[in-house]
Amino acid sequence: MSASTPTNAPAQVLRPDRRRNRLGYNILALVTAALMAFPVYWLIVSSLRPNHEIRSYDQTLWPSSLTFDNFARAVKQDNFATAIQSSLIVSVTAVVGGMIIATLAALAIGRFRFFGRKALMMIMILVQMLPPTAMLIPIYLQLNALGGIDEYWGLIVVYLVSTLPFATIMIRGFVINIPVELEESAMVDGCTRMGAFRRVIFPLLAPGLAAASIFALVNAWNEYLFAYILINDNSKYTLNVWLMTFTTERGTDYGALMAASTLISIPVVIFFMIIQGKMATGLTSGAVKG
């Protein structure tokens, strides 16, 4: 009994410290979450305020009166339907195309050994560090020469290429963690290489694809700079560029602007809620090896 007392004493002494540390971390996490959530809360609350209250200097955390007129004006704004169509065409095509190409690239990098493989990985990491504004002029000149200005495919190519490095690196982490023996066993049982990929590899890549797809969707859906520069036709504006129409020579309709911003954020939130479980797994898995 006397021998066991010294070993248990330090654990009992450290428990209050651990509880205080845990309480401190919890408080810090709650404060951080509140700070991050407050802009979203203010956006939603402002979309429900009357315009005269938004312009008032005496702001409160909760509006004195609620109104849905801001949403009505936002929906009735010119080119609202075409802006939704443009954003859907560009975003969905860029995400689907990016996931297909990134998956094939990740399989090639993760499964095969070829000259320049490590250099290719390093280049993809370095490309992610370049600011978008540094590539704006070269991209504009190239697309202009190819006739891609004011065309959906020009913006799709930009979004697709911008998400490829990150998506490829993330999906590669899953590929190298899938035993090659699983694929070989499927091929021994009669599957072709494509059949083995579809039946064995692809289901195991689902978490990585979910995480990479939400990143690609957020990048394409919320991007403003390239959409503003590369698309000049009002009928082809994406939603983020379309928000400029609420600012005119007579001023800015802040209520309708806040309501429109709330509306265009809903699709991404819904998509995130659908795959958030797999996304959480995708952000942590695949970083263990390689």
pLDDT of residue 211: 83
pLDDT of residue 159: 92
- Diameter of the chain measured on Cα atoms: 85
Measured between alpha carbons, how far is 182 from 159 in angstroms, rounded to an integer? Answer: 34
Q: What is the pTM of this model?
A: 0.78
Measured between alpha carbons, how far is 4 from 154 in angstroms, rounded to an integer? Answer: 72
Q: Are 173 and 285 in contact (CB under 8 A)?
A: yes
Measured N-to-C along each axis, helices 254-284 and 69-76 cross at an angle, to the nearest 10 degrees, of 90
Q: Are 210 and 282 in contact (CB under 8 A)?
A: yes
Q: Fill in the amino acid letter for 56.
A: S
pLDDT of residue 278: 58
Is residue 33 classed as helix, strand or coil in its secondary structure? helix
Instruction: Please say whether the dihedral angle defined by the alpha carbons of residues 171, 177, 181 and 182, taken in this order, is positive or negative.
Output: negative
pLDDT of residue 144: 92
Measured between alpha carbons, how far is 176 from 106 in angstroms, rounded to an integer? Answer: 9
Q: Are 237 and 264 in contact (CB under 8 A)?
A: no
pLDDT in tens, the chain (290 residues): 444 445 444 444 446 667 777 888 888 989 999 899 898 899 899 888 888 888 877 777 887 788 888 899 999 888 899 999 999 999 999 999 999 999 988 888 888 887 888 888 888 888 888 887 888 899 999 999 999 899 999 999 999 988 888 889 888 888 888 888 887 788 887 778 788 888 888 888 888 888 888 888 888 998 999 999 999 888 899 999 999 888 887 878 888 899 999 999 888 888 878 776 655 554 444 444 44
